[in-house]
Amino acid sequence: MRCSAAVLLAGLLGACASTTTPTAPPPRVLVFGEQHDQVDQQRQVAEAVATLAARGHLRAVVLEMADRGVDTRAVPRGADDAAAREALGWQQERGWPWVQYGPVVMAAVRAGVPVWGGNLPRAEMRAAMTNTSLDAAVTPEIADKLTAAIRDGHCGLLSEDMAPGMRRVQIARDRSMAGVVRDRLAEGQGGVVLLTGAQHASRDRGVPWQLVKPDVVSATAIRVVLFEPGSDGLVADERRVAAVTQSPDRCEALKAKMGTPAK
């Protein structure tokens, strides 16, 4: 389903007006799945956060771009960007340019809405790679999708023996973000926005799949928004068009980093 930004923001995390009924409960979780090098996608998320917060519909923002265990609750509305970065332990070197993601964070801070880190802390990633119990945390079908996406994301350069460990890290990261979102929902009324990568946002394998617990969060309480172009093969409730930022060839850069001769 494709909706305009105005229609999307017309109600709390809602669907297109043409499909919304007066008795339908509004989704409580709005998941934005983005591509990290696409500036217009983050801009649209910042706009959505500001609008929802201004209407009193937002209780928290959760980010993949900051680790679980940090938040901006102690950051005043009038604080500068440096205070928010410090509170979130922002790690620019991990591929999260503040110039792109800062507007999302500051839109929430200015509105008095806390921002929470949701990602698996780096210190826990090595343990996740060898935690075979994570293999049973998804179905075999989902495991195959995750493995294929990981291989594709590494341009076919990933050795076969590394794929299972990286899939476990992906699952652990999804579970970490789902846990933070679930905790925020348990605190009271209001919606939660999650900003994460498109693979993590896909309904059929990522955070939404891990988030659903019938006694806590139903599938209908979640709305997934992906951007196009760039979200082929992923499952969403809505796709929004975003301007494309031209970026260097990712695979050529990865080949150079890994010392693999370019073809």
Cβ contacts of residue 106 below 8 Å, gap of 6+? 81, 84
pLDDT in the model for residue 261: 52
Q: How far apart are CA 234 and CA 34, in angstroms?
A: 12
Q: How far apart are CA 100 and CA 147, in angstroms?
A: 29
pLDDT in the model for residue 88: 98
Cβ contacts of residue 206 below 8 Å, gap of 6+? 33, 174, 196, 199, 200
pLDDT in the model for residue 250: 66
pLDDT digits (tens, 9 = 90+) for 32-57: 999 999 999 999 999 999 999 999 99
Domain range 24-258, its CATH number among 3.40.980.10, 3.30.1360.70, 3.40.50.970, 3.40.50.11550: 3.40.50.11550
pLDDT in the model for residue 209: 96
pLDDT in the model for residue 188: 87
* Other CB atoms within 10 A of residue 132 CB: 9
E-only strand ranges, 9-146: 29-34, 58-67, 115-119
Residues of the chain with pLDDT under 70: 1-26, 249-250, 253-254, 257-263
pLDDT digits (tens, 9 = 90+) for 81-94: 999 999 999 998 88
**The model's pTM:** 0.88
Q: How far apart are CA 53 and CA 214, in angstroms?
A: 27
**Strand arrangement of the beta sheet that strand 115-119 belongs to:** 115-119, 58-67, 191-197, 29-34, 222-228, 238-241
CA 228, 232, 237: angle at the middle one, nearest 5?
Answer: 70
